A = this chain, B = another copy of it.
Amino acid sequence: MKRRDVLKSFGSGMVAATSLAVGGKALAAKPEFKWKMVTTWPKNFPVLGTNANYLAKTIEEMSGGRIRIKVYGANELVPAFEAFDAVSRGTVEMGHGAPYYWKGKSETAQFFSAIPFGMTAQEVNGWLYYGGGLALWEELYDRFNLVPMATGNTGVQMAGWFRKDINSVDDLKGLKMRIPGLGGEVLSRAGGTPVSMPGGEIFTSLQSGAIDATEWIGPYNDLAFGLYKAAKNYYYPGWHEPGSTLETFVNKQTFESLPKDLQAIVKHACKDASMDMISEFSAKNNAALDTLVNKHQVSVKALPDDVLKKLHWLSNEVVQDIVDRDAFSQKVYASYSSFQQQAIKWSDVSEYAYMRARGLGA
């Protein structure tokens, strides 16, 4: 590059903003790209919201400040459930949320979050990165001018907080429970009444008896919400969300206008954030469960086997109905379920068999 060309490049305003590495230090450069990230979580919401902060920080650090991302909590810039449209239109560059929030756009989106009685985090990441799952997700979001990236997973959630015991399938009848999405549809078919409400209303509704039960996430988030004060029966396992995938989505033109190195940084930062989130959930749920049981005397109970089998049967029905009426859902589910069939066989002799063996004691 000749001196004249160098000066010419600098004249463009683009290169001058590049992070210059001199003498082993990255200079704080003027960012080339100033992005806004809208999220579906309250600002700094534990793990989900803080993971969005972590992601923004990682991208900024790896790019030496060439990308700066300002993270907005739900409703700060746009309402939580308008994040998808805002990024799709290019009003903001980037969003952080959960695919099942967009089922109004496409029923298939739900399958990229979680499927009741579907795959665990480790299994589903195998499908996403090495089983064609992410490519299908990209195909879907491309219709909406978005590039999706898997960004974290909750791991197996809890079944929820119940004011009364669940001893049989009959106890689900008439049960008024805050449970959104596919899980809610399953409860409805079991004779219950699924209710949707924002996180902030759950505690009061459960305490007043306006609802009989609620699911939320897992011990760490549930402890923070104080749900143990409103109901003492904490049921497991979270059959409806056995490993919910979270997401980042970037406006397609915005993403494509990035230099290749910054595209790589954004993509790999999301995968790094995936590892970070499941690890954070793993660590914090451990400790919170201990607090719930030993400090707050919560009763941790297993859903009875016949209840689980009934819910499984109804879950299959709910998924099949979606697959029957939507061609793209059929395509995605064919890929998902064929992967899951093999995944279960391997998990049975690896993760599952090992945890059973460890539990036998010495």
Contact = CB atoms under 8 A, between A and B. Distances in A.
22 contacts: A6-B7, A14-B21, A14-B22, A15-B21, A61-B260, A62-B62, A64-B259, A65-B261, A117-B362, A126-B280, A126-B286, A130-B284, A131-B283, A156-B353, A237-B354, A239-B357, A271-B275, A272-B275, A302-B349, A344-B359, A351-B355, A352-B359
Interface string A102-125: 000000000000000100111101
Interface in A305-362: 305, 308-309, 312-313, 315-316, 339, 342-362
A1 B14 contact: no
Contact of A358 (B20, B65, B242, B285): B242
Interface residues on A, range: 35 or more
Nearest to A305: B360
Interface of A: 1, 3, 6-7, 9-10, 12, 14-16, 18-26, 32, 58, 61-66, 117, 120-123, 125-131, 155-158, 218-219, 236-239, 242, 256-262, 264-265, 268-269, 271-272, 274-276, 278-287, 289-290, 293, 300, 302-303, 305, 308-309, 312-313, 315-316, 339, 342-362
**Stoichiometry, copies per complex:** 2
A333 to B, nearest CB: 16
A159 to B, nearest CB: 9
**Those 3 A-B pairs whose CB atoms lie nearest each other, nearest first:** A126-B282, A64-B261, A130-B283
A156 B242 contact: no
A14 B23 contact: yes
A348 B237 CA distance: 9
B282 A345 contact: no
A301 to B, nearest CB: 9
